[in-house]
Every structure is written in C-alpha cells, then in structure tokens.
Amino acid sequence: MKSILWMTIATLLLVGASLASAQSLGEVARSARKGKAQQTSTHHYDNDNLPTTDKLSVVGPATATANGGAQSNDPNAAAAPAAPAVDPKAAAADRQHAADEWKDKIDDQKKTIESLNHELDLTQREYRLRAVAQYSDAGNRLRNSAQWDKDEADFRKQLEEKQKAVDAAKHDLENLQEQARKAGVKERE
C-alpha cells in the first residue's frame, strides 16, 4: 500500500514538473514560424506583406503616357487629357468597316458549314439507299457480300471524314465569333 502511495506521488510530481516547463501553444507556433521563415527562400505574398503605398498591376506592363513613356506612380498626379488624334467620324467609319469584315468572315464560315452539312446528308442518303438495295435481295447479299463489306467500309470512312470536316468548320466558326467579340463587334442574328 505504501508503494502504491509513493508511486502515485512520484507520478504527480513528474506530471506537475512537465506541465510547469511546457511552452504555450502560441510560443510553439512563433518558434516554428521563425524557423520556417529562415529556411524558405521564395517570397510568398499575403495580406500582411502586400505593399500599401505602391500600386500592384496584375494586367501587364505600364502604359505609356505623354511624359516620355513613363507612368507616374503618384495617385495625386493629374492626368493630362490627350487630344483626339483622329476624327471621330473616321474612327466610327473604321469600326464599322472592321465590323462588316468580321461579319462577312462569319457569314462565309456559316455558308461553308451549310455546304459541308449538305454533302454529309447526301452521303448518308446514298449509303442508306445502297444498304436497302443490298439487304432487300437475298441473292445479291450472298453473291456480293465481300464487295458490300468493302463498299460499306469506304462509305463509313467518308462519313467520318465529312463529319470531322463539319465539326472543324463549326469550331472555326466559334473561334471567329470569339475573335469578333474580342474585337468589339456585336453579333447580329
């Protein structure tokens, strides 16, 4: 009984000593952060170390201004209004001309798609007619089965190629429409 009492007292003393010498969680985190900051060589941006006085540009290089091509970082500097270099009517006519060119390109691509779709439909119809003729006559099926297999493979290959051409033309149309949209041309229906 005395040994259990002494063991309990010794355990309580050891636990008390370890608790008295333990660091707080905040102290452990600070020491880990100091050690980690010394080890890393790359710079990471967060809200604590972002510059507050300088402007941060994520778009691209600074634009040229009238004072020798350098842009001022002073937010209080007055921007000099630039005089229009071209006639507004001429600029509007140029925009309209560019819009008409884009619309013509898009219309030409739509016509190409219609033409390719028409060719695809004709090939599909011709294949169906040949299939009906082949399978409607049992004697023809037995006599010309090898030729039919070869013709069928050729037709399927033609159909796949034409379908790929239609898909490529549609993709080109989407690209043209996106480029026109980026150029500022409104789409007409």
Tens of pLDDT along 49-92?
A: 776 777 666 666 665 554 444 454 555 444 445 555 568 888 88
Task: Among 14-18, 63-67, 119-123, 135-139, name the most confident range.
Answer: 119-123
User: Is the pTM above the cut of 0.85?
Assistant: no
Q: Rounded CA gap, 101 and 13, in Å?
A: 90
Is the CB of residue 159 less than 8 Å from the CB of residue 88? no
Q: What is the structure's pLDDT at 110?
A: 93
Return the residue matching tokens 């040949």: 130
Please measure the distance between the N-terminal and C-terminal CA atoms of the chain and give it in whole angstroms: 98
The arithmetic mean of pLDDT across residues 21-49, rounded, is 72
Report the percentage of the chain scoring pLDDT > 90.
22
